[in-house]
Amino acid sequence: MKQLHELTISEVHVGYLNKDFTCVDLVKHLLNRIKKYNPKLNVFLALNENVLKQAEAIDKEIAEKGIDRELLGIPMAIKDNFLTVGISTTASSNILKGFMPQYESSVTSKLLTAGAIFIGKTNMDSFAHGSSTETSDFGPTHNPWNPEKLPGGSSGGSAAAISAQFVTVALGSETAGSIRQPAAWCGVTGFKPTYGRAGRYGCIAMASSTDSPGPIARTVADTALIANVISGQDPFDATTSPTPVGDYPSFLNKKDLKGIKIGLVKEYLMTSMSDEVKKLILEAADKFKELGATVEEISLMNPKYAIGVYTVVQRSEVSSNLARFDGIRFGHTRDSFGEETKRRIMLGTYTLSSGYYDAYYKKAQAVRTKMIDQFAEIFKSYDAVIGAVSPGPALSIGATKNQPMFGEMEDVLVEQSSVSGLTSVGVPCGFVDDLPIGLQITCDQFQEAKALMIADCYQRHTDFNLFPDLDKTL
């Protein structure tokens, strides 16, 4: 008999309908769990003070109308870079300490309309600057598998929230790996939609040209349900696409992958990766073959160039996006920025400054074109490309100190797909040193259905979707 914190979205709904438990029951159960384990994990920065009242209202709705909204009564953790009215939003930075948003983000608005209930806001790398959650001004989040390890980032809090089973589903965002990498390090499923698939209005901007809101959840199926809700053209975001949203869950539950052609990226296996991780990836490739897919080795541009592209583009855009934080209309003064944030603003200001713009920003965007073109070419012959999400398992707390390029190095395998705006699913594919390893399945722009279908098939035919026993690990 599954416990309340082990349920997927549909299992929660079945429970509600069968009157096995109420929304209030579920929320109280989760809050108790959070009370017990969060102090050691530092997943949540703020809890929703109105959650029980909202749960009561939901129970009333269920009693009167049944489950008439896709996410009715589903408890969620929201990454703290999404503006949520009534719950503080800080992007894990002191400069926004105590900030109560004046408006709701597009994505959380859609989630609320679909009936979701927010448990709280999760810790992240300060302003999403990092791949560890260690640059948070409020302390790092600890990996539920091993609290001396980092959860990854920047959506580390959201990934840990799923791994620790504090909520049913979580919301994160990815600029270059920030959904997939923490999902990989925490052993959960993360889904990055195509850039422009979900609206960024109300998501505190990091790199405007790559930021993509997306779900982190227990299963691919749950991420597909969230994707359905948050995707679609947003009138408040000029970079969202009018491409119709597919009904993602309807593409799942395929029994095999016959006819699917998969590219295994050679360069991703050549980077400084431990042999054990390589082994897991090759085993994953074998699994795909077993499921009927064709798997071939393919070559992409050396991933090291993605580091350069991402570093320049991201820091340039960040330096500009954080200019509005001047302490006049909201927040505190600019000396409240953390070290990593200051560093990124400075470097971005430098790369955009006169005399350097052509050499850095323009050059980076030209190399980006080559990456995009290369992927477009590959996707003419392949349905998806796969590889590890991260060169190794979760690193220890403190590993990021004095490493200004830490994030970029860690994200070397995911940066190319992020800067090209592609869609990708990260799923667990095994363990190394008792820590989870994640596999990425990347598809072309607006091929979310395909990416989810492949990932879902793989996940249902493997046993890596595990969750730590916190009484043992903490």
Partner 1 sequence: MHKVTILPEEVKKIAKLANLKLQPVEVNLFAEQFTQTVDIINQLNEVDTSAVAATYQITGLVNVTREDIVDTARVLPQTVALSGAKLTSNGFFVVPRIIDTEETESVI
Partner 2 sequence: MKITPLIGLEVHVELETKSKMFCGCPADHFGKVPNTQTCPVCLGLPGALPVPNKKAIESCMKIGLALNCSVNRLSKFDRKQYFYPDLAKGYQISQYDQPFCSGGFLNLDSGKTIGIERVHQEEDTGKLQHTVLNGEKVTLVDFNRSGVPLVEIVSKPDMSSSSEAKEYLKKIHEIIRTIEVSNADMEKGQMRLEPTVNICIEDNSGSHFTPLVEIKNINSFNFAVQAIEYEVKRQVEEFEKTGIEKTPNNKTTRGYDSVKKITFLQRSKEEAKDYRYFPEPDIPPFIIENEVIEMLRRELPLLPDQKIADLVKLGVEERFAKLVYNRQEVMNVLDVIARKNDEAIPANDININRLVSLMANGKIDIKKDVIAQYDSLTKVGITDTTQLTQIVQNIIDDNPSIVAEYKKGKINVVGFFVGQAMKATKGSADPKTLSTIISDLLVK
- Which two three-digit tokens encode residue 113? 């309309």
370's contact among partner 2, partner 1, none, with CB below 5 to 8 A by partner kind, is: partner 1
Residues within window 344-363 making contact with partner 2, judged by CB under 8 A:
349, 352-354, 357, 361
In the complex, the smallest distance separating the C-beta of residue 354 from partner 2, rounded to whole angstroms, is 5
Which is nearer to partner 2, 352 or 409 (by Cβ)? 352
Please indicate whether residue 278 is annotated as part of the active site.
Answer: no
Choices 1-9, 205-213, 380-388, 459-467; region in contact with partner 2 by CB under 8 A: 205-213
Could you write out the DSSP letters of every residue in 244-303?
Answer: PPP-GGGG---S--TT-EEEEEHHHHHSS--HHHHHHHHHHHHHHHHTT-EEEEE--S-H
- Which two three-digit tokens encode residue 382? 């392949």
Choices 50-58, 213-221, 334-342, 465-473; region in contact with partner 1 by CB under 8 A: 334-342
Residues within window 221-240 making contact with partner 2, judged by CB under 8 A:
235-239
Count of CA atoms in the C-beta half-sphere (13 A) of 297: 7
The residue behind tokens 């499921």 is 291
In the complex, the smallest distance separating the C-beta of residue 316 from partner 1, rounded to whole angstroms, is 11
89's contact among partner 2, partner 1, none, with CB below 5 to 8 A by partner kind, is: partner 2
Return the residue of 8, 22, 181, 316 that touches partner 2, per CB under 8 A: 316
Choices 27-35, 153-161, 200-208, 246-254; region in contact with partner 2 by CB under 8 A: 200-208
Please indicate whether residue 272 is annotated as part of the active site.
Answer: no
User: How many CB atoms neighbour CB 39 within 10 A?
Assistant: 10
Return the residue of 202, 249, 430, 468 that touches partner 2, per CB under 8 A: 202
Cβ contacts of 60 within 8 Å, gap of 6 or more? none
What residue type is assigned to position 207 of the chain? A
105's contact among partner 2, partner 1, none, with CB below 5 to 8 A by partner kind, is: partner 2
Residues within window 98-117 making contact with partner 2, judged by CB under 8 A:
99, 101-103, 105
Return the residue of 238, 270, 282, 466 that touches partner 1, per CB under 8 A: 238
Active-site residue (options: 178, 212, 316, 424): 178
Main-chain phi, psi angles of 120, to 5 degrees: 180, 180
Angle at 328 between CA 327 and CA 333, to 5 degrees: 15
> Measured between alpha carbons, how far is residue 469 from residues 37, 170, 466, 474 in Å?
11, 19, 10, 8
Helix H or strand E encompassing 161? helix 156-163
Question: Is residue 60 at the binding interface for partner 2, with CB under 8 A as the rule?
Answer: no
Please indicate whether residue 154 is annotated as part of the active site.
Answer: yes
368's contact among partner 1, partner 2, none, with CB below 5 to 8 A by partner kind, is: partner 1
Burial class (CB in 10 A: 0-12, 13-18, 19+), 334: middle
Cβ contacts of 472 within 8 Å, gap of 6 or more? none
Question: Is residue 431 at the binding interface for partner 1, with CB under 8 A as the rule?
Answer: no
Name the DSSP class of 67: S
**# chain residues binding partner 2, by CB under 8 A:** 41
Cβ contacts of 143 within 8 Å, gap of 6 or more? 149, 150, 151, 152, 160, 163, 185, 186, 394, 435
Q: List the catalytic residues.
A: 79, 154, 178
Contacts with partner 2, residue ranges (CB under 8 A): 81-83, 89, 91, 96, 99, 101-103, 105, 200-205, 208-209, 235-239, 316-317, 320, 322-326, 328-330, 349, 352-354, 357, 361
